[in-house]
Every structure is written in C-alpha cells, then in structure tokens.
Homo-oligomer: A and B are copies of this chain.
Amino acid sequence: MSGDVSDRDIAVFEAGIKLGALYHQFIGTPLSLKTIKVVENAITRSVSLQPYVKAVKVEINREKVRERTTRFGYCELCGDMLDVWLVVEYRGVEVRARLKFDGEYPLMFLESVSAAEP
C-alpha cells in the first residue's frame, strides 16, 4: 500500500504541531489573575504566526488561577488551565482542533476535518 501523504494529512499534522508546541512552550509561565489577558494574548499571537493557522483562541481558566495563587501572589501556567480552539487551513482543508482539560488530563483532539468554505 502506498504511503502517499495528502493535503488533508498535512493540514491535520500542522494542527498537531501547533498544539504540542504551544503546550510545551508556555507551561510554567508565572501567572496571576492580573496577567491572564496579557499571557493569553501573547500565546494567541505567537501561535497565529505559525504556518497555516487561520484562527486560534486561548482561554486560561480564571478559577484555577485563583485557587492556585500562592502566598507569593501568583501561580504558574499548568496544562489543565488551558482551553484552546485552533483552526488550521492547508490547501482548502480546514482542521478544527482543541486542547481541553477533560477532568483528569489536558487532552488534544480533533473536532473536525473538512473542505474549507469555498
């Protein structure tokens, strides 16, 4: 069987790269309720620079930041605080992917893969 790589494969692969990269780049960043927006914005803008990213939305869970704020007045960005919606488009294939805490684990998964709107 041929192992040919399709445009759809590349679109999906690129979506995976972005989520894996985002997670391991920004986890550990010092964080407080006052800096959540600045950090969300920096992550969003950084991911948006990468190839084939059509849209990205990053939300950091306020409640978890509040709960984990230590006596020093801050905490650090953890994987289970992140909610990410990512849309990648490559040659007409649109991929929607998520990074989301599932109650036990920050999961990365595909929501849909389809031909983009013409």
Q: What number of copies of this chain does the assembly contain?
A: 4
Q: Are B16 and A23 in contact (CB under 8 A)?
A: no
Q: In the assembly, what is the distance between CA of A74 and CA of B105, in Å?
A: 11
Q: Say what secondary structure dominates the interface of chain A.
A: mixed
Q: Are A13 and B97 in contact (CB under 8 A)?
A: yes
Q: Nearest CB to that of A48 among chain B residues?
A: B35
Q: Nearest CB to that of A72 among chain B residues?
A: B51
Q: Nearest CB to that of A96 among chain B residues?
A: B3
Chain A 32-71, CB-CB to B under 8 Å as 1, else 0, gives 1011001101100111011100000000000000000011
Are A1 and B104 also in contact (CB < 8 A) when A16-B15, A74-B49 are?
Answer: no
Q: Nearest CB to that of A21 among chain B residues?
A: B20
**Distance between A97 CB and nearest chain B CB, rounded to angstroms:** 7
A-side residues, CB < 8 A to B, are 1-6, 8-10, 12-25, 27-32, 34-35, 38-39, 41-42, 45-47, 49-51, 70-74, 76, 78-79, 96-97, 104-105, 108-115
